[in-house]
Amino acid sequence: MKIIISGGGIGGLTAALCALHFGHQVTVLERAPALGAVGAGIQVPPNAMKIFAALKLDAALTDIGFLPHAIETRMGVSGRQIFTIPLGAQAVARWGAPYLHIHRADYIAVLQNALRAQQADALRLNAEVKAYRQTANGVCAHLADGSEMEGDVLLAGDGIHSPLRTQMLGAQKPIFTGNVAWRAVVPMDRLGDDAPRPTACAWMGAGKHCVTYRLRRGRLANFVGVVSRDDWTVESWTEQGTKQEALADFDGWHPTICRILDAADTHYRWALFDRAPLENWVDGRVALLGDAAHPMLPFMAQGAAMAVEDGWAVMQALAQGDSVTEALQNYQARRLRRTSRAQAVSRANGTTFHQSTRLGQIATYAPLYMVGKFAPKLIHARQDWLYGHDETR
């Protein structure tokens, strides 16, 4: 089949590689003039790494990424550890694949290079899909420049502001969560003894939390911090705040956090909006994937991973011999429950991370500390449904 994919992000590129894996022809239409260094660090958990192992890209991603030793949580001011989940060989033994940290630009580069190596003309830049129409034997994508492209299937991997989702389901009003996120990337050699540990560490505090981890074989430190506030409502990856504002938001926190913010050259911030789970992702020969289908808050590091799983799932469904419309409905049925659960857990984690009162912190974090200390296997088991899942089976 001829597969058209709107959007050249992680979900769209992965879906394109999966299309080639299952023997289809593919064209990715990306509105940007280049796939550049947008974003910062991203986590690639075992459930996503299994897809890349099937595509034989796991080694390339691991080579440019960083393998953390553990997932851990700490108190944001004191740095006291609440619990830890060992990774490395233990992650592979329990969940079937490693846990990886990678810079988003490196992630995109690996996927883009692999796609072009397999089909040189698969990616078209400066090509924005604005709408679609069903035809007698296929689907037609309408581009912003007035041109059209016909194919057998159109996949909308065009993100949280997807015009194809809007055409399919109508406008969806996002709900501001009352949270603003900061992100920054800093060379490790600027941080000295305050460099973050070689873990994926969530730091929790009153009305805020942050996550630190390493990138590019350990040469960079990545920071994402989320603060409860209502005076910034711009949902953009390219808006900048100031160093002074970022430091003020985390004033009095652990030296690791303050040192990263002080050493960073650029401090990006964006407002976090939530969206209700969709009940339908499919219209005839058109289907949504990734953020267009199930955008989620970044409190579980699974947004991109769910898009990666979608890419395999939709192509596997199309390869199983049903009609296109039946295959896309099967894809939706396979993915809807899991992605809705991931959205719900991500939303709930925001409350867990931001306990604002002393009583709330004790009631929430003390049981986690006790379980982590005396029954750590239970902490591991809570992640099995997520990390242990293998979409390729």
Please indicate whether residue 213 is annotated as part of the active site: yes
Alpha helices in 264-323 (DSSP H): 303-318
Distance CA 169, CA 235 (A): 21
Distance CA 99, CA 89 (A): 10
> What type of residue sits at position 129?
V
Name residue 90's beta-bridge partners.
none
6, 129 contact by CB (below 8 A)? yes
DSSP 198: S
- What span, in angstroms and rounded, lies between the C-alpha atoms of 361 and 222? 26
- Cα distance between the two ends of the chain: 22
Q: In what order do the strands lie in the sheet with 153-156?
A: 123-124, 25-29, 2-6, 153-156, 286-288, 282-283
With contact defined as beta carbons under 8 Å apart, do 131 and 163 qualify?
yes
Helices (H), 132-237: 163-169
Q: How far apart are CA 368 and CA 346, in angstroms?
A: 17
What is the C-alpha separation between 162 and 165, in angstroms, rounded? 5
- Residues 6+ positions from 181 with CB-CB distance below 8 Å: 224, 225, 226, 227, 269, 270, 271, 272, 298
The catalytic residue among 213, 331, 365, 387 is: 213
Handedness of CA 113, 119, 124, 128 (dihedral sign): negative
5: Cβ–Cβ under 8 A, 6 or more apart, which residues? Answer: 12, 15, 16, 19, 26, 27, 28, 29, 154, 155, 157
CB of 92 closer than 8 Å to CB of 387: no
Catalytic residues: 213
